[in-house]
Amino acid sequence: MKIIIIGAGIAGLASGIYAQKNGIESIIYEKNTYVGGNLVYPNNKKENLSIVPWMACGKENIELFQVWNEFIPQDNFFIPPFFFKYQDENNTFTFWQDKNKTKEEWLSKSPNDTKQIHSFFSTISDLEDYVENANIPWDLMNPFLTTKKQLKQRKINKIISKYENITVEEYFSSFSDKSIKNAFLSIFNHNESIITLLLTIANYLSGKLVQPKKGINDILEQLKNIYISMGGKIIFQETLEEIKWANPNSCEKVIFKSGKYDYADEYILAIDPYFVFNKVLKGKVGDRKFYLRYENKEAYPVYSGIHFSYYVDFLKLYKKNNNYQEGIYIYSCEPIKIGKNYYSQIILHIIPSLNEVYCTFKQDIKDYEYWESLYQTDFLYNKKLKEICDEVKSIIENIFPEWKKIQLKEVITPIDYFKLTNTYKGSIYSFHITPQGKPIYHNGNINMTNVYIASQWMNSPGGIDQAFLSGKFIIQRIIESYRKGKKL
């Protein structure tokens, strides 16, 4: 059997690794000169800058740990000492990895919210036992294993049912201290289901949520080398143009913009599903789960962001002050308009070990459309981008005057994401979970006999772990289909 994989992001690399692991010949075609998909992007110096990721693989007794640890040893990751530090004109507080420390700090700063704070941390404690299914996809489990897993998660599922119809904004509206609400709303989306926030915090406090010590580029490079060492091949700078149909529901070969083509028994499109359905398959094959979400943008929102990457010489700064800790810092600031929205908080991810600082502002579909329109005229696009860059730099230097003349390495807008990765509306993650829109669970089958999709979009709310699992699971499903008698 031979499998062609389109896209060398996390899902594509996982598909290739598990194909090779199971003795299946595979080849990955990637349109860029690097691996990583929408996790990385090149700047004008041809450096690969990256998004700082969270991965839920920090505890040895969970399935995700076992999945990642087979290829990337645990000493590649660390647990940040705090989830974020927040500061505005009224308050300063930290969300520590030490739950009791955080709880005591919140209670001391906001005694009027004692009831709400106790309830928040009690719910978090109950959710810490949540475990992501990572060994076998649900659709391949036997009834006994399915029942066993469901019974184990019964308590968790009751909590999810209790909170899934409450938004982040609604949940924190009962807090008298608006700093707590503003801090979380700067990271999570106001119309997002609170259960996403609660599960994320529970994963962090329980030690499951970790970050790569040397950044995601290091993890991607390791995955690439593992795949190649297993006999896999990656062909760069080949952009998929179309597929050649063997019959109405199967693919004969894939054709690239360069004119090159290739044949396989199975094809995995580890790229954005919207691009697959509309550009690659040209609307000939649809999928109800996805189209339902594309058409109902209020219930199934997606978010992009505008990201700034700066160089700061922390080595020189450390000689004077050793107080910089790696982590996320949120500061209030004068309102700044970016795209169609105004922002009163600025989020900085400070990474002293890499001499880097990342600054991020969430952007929605209206923002994407704004940048898309502006992009039509280079002069207007670059003019507006320079204005925003200057404003953001000024805000950062006002917060940290000791960071004299920080150097902008790169800025990337939602339209840049789209141009680089073909992601739907320049989105970074999958569909966000809201009270109106339920999570998506997709097995990658799209009504074709030998074409599948794999990406973070298979399971809300997406992310690195879901992308990796989608690649693993699609190989398991292909193997199972041959075990049941599918012919080459």
pLDDT in tens, 426-450: 998 899 999 999 888 999 999 899 9
Residues found in the chain: 488
Q: Is 422 helix (H, G, I), strand (E, B) or coil?
A: coil
Confirm if 359 and 393 have CB atoms less than 8 A apart. Answer: no
Q: What is the pLDDT of residue 356?
A: 87
Relative to beta strand 77-78, strand 211-212 is: antiparallel
Give the model confidence (pLDDT) of 324-361 as tens digits.
Answer: 788 899 999 999 999 999 999 999 999 888 888 999 99
Distance CA 73, CA 218 (A): 12
Whether this prediction's pTM lies above 0.85 is answered by yes
Confirm if 255 and 243 have CB atoms less than 8 A apart. Answer: yes
How many CB atoms are closer than 10 A to CB 26? 27
Confirm if 266 and 257 have CB atoms less than 8 A apart. Answer: no
For residue 322, is it left (φ>0), alpha (ψ between -120 and 50) or beta? alpha
Q: How many CA atoms lie within 13 A of 25 on its CB side?
A: 5
Confirm if 417 and 38 have CB atoms less than 8 A apart. Answer: yes
Q: What is the pLDDT of residue 487?
A: 59
Distance CA 87, CA 183 (A): 9
Distance CA 488, CA 421 (A): 32
Query: Which has the closest alpha carbon to 273: 3, 51, 456, 466?
Result: 456
pLDDT at 470 over 70: yes
Which pair of structure tokens corresponds to residue 105?
A: 């700090």
Confirm if 254 and 69 have CB atoms less than 8 A apart. Answer: no
pLDDT at 140 over 50: yes
Q: What is the pLDDT of residue 44?
A: 52
Q: What is the pLDDT of residue 38?
A: 82
Confirm if 461 and 429 have CB atoms less than 8 A apart. Answer: yes
Task: Name every residue whose Cβ is closer than 8 Å to that of residue 339 and which is 6 or more positions away in sequence.
Answer: 306, 363, 366, 367, 368, 370, 371, 414
pLDDT at 215 over 90: no
Distance CA 387, CA 21 (A): 50
Q: What is the pLDDT of residue 333?
A: 93
How many CB atoms are closer than 10 A to CB 300? 22
Q: How many CA atoms lie within 13 A of 38 on its CB side?
A: 31
- Residue holding tokens 């991965």? 55
In one-letter notation, the amino acid at residue 201 is I
For residue 268, the Cα-to-chain-centroid distance in whole angstroms is 20
Reported confidence tier of residue 43, pLDDT bands at 50, 70, 90? low
Using CA atoms, how far residue 150 sits from 127, 147, 155, 156, 189, in Å, is 15, 5, 10, 10, 29
Q: How many CA atoms lie within 13 A of 139 on its CB side?
A: 13
Give the model confidence (pLDDT) of 87-122 as tens digits.
Answer: 998 888 899 999 999 999 999 999 999 999 999 999
Cis before 461 (ω within 30): yes
Give the model confidence (pLDDT) of 234-280 as tens digits.
Answer: 999 999 999 999 998 999 999 999 999 999 999 999 999 999 999 99
Q: Residues of the chain with pLDDT > 90: what percent?
A: 75
Give the model confidence (pLDDT) of 166-196 as tens digits.
Answer: 999 999 999 998 888 999 999 999 999 999 9
Distance CA 445, CA 257 (A): 25
Which pair of structure tokens corresponds to residue 232?
A: 């896999």
Q: What is the pLDDT of residue 63?
A: 94
Q: What is the mean pLDDT of residues 207-233?
A: 95
Using CA atoms, how far residue 412 sits from 2, 63, 175, in Å, is 37, 35, 35
Confirm if 240 and 451 have CB atoms less than 8 A apart. Answer: no
Q: What is the pLDDT of residue 220?
A: 95
Which pair of structure tokens corresponds to residue 65?
A: 């740990």
Distance CA 276, CA 439 (A): 21
Q: What is the pLDDT of residue 322?
A: 60
Using CA atoms, how far residue 119 sits from 104, 114, 191, 406, in Å, is 14, 9, 21, 42
Q: What is the mean pLDDT of residues 362-369?
A: 95
Phi, psi of 54 (to 5 degrees): -110, 140
For residue 334, the Cα-to-chain-centroid distance in whole angstroms is 29
Confirm if 44 and 63 have CB atoms less than 8 A apart. Answer: no
What's the chain's average pLDDT? 92
Give the model confidence (pLDDT) of 445-469 as tens digits.
Answer: 998 999 999 999 999 889 999 999 9
Which pair of structure tokens corresponds to residue 24?
A: 């299946």
Query: Which has the closest alpha carbon to 13: 301, 334, 234?
Result: 234
Which pair of structure tokens corresponds to residue 125?
A: 């404690």
For residue 458, is it left (φ>0), alpha (ψ between -120 and 50) or beta? alpha
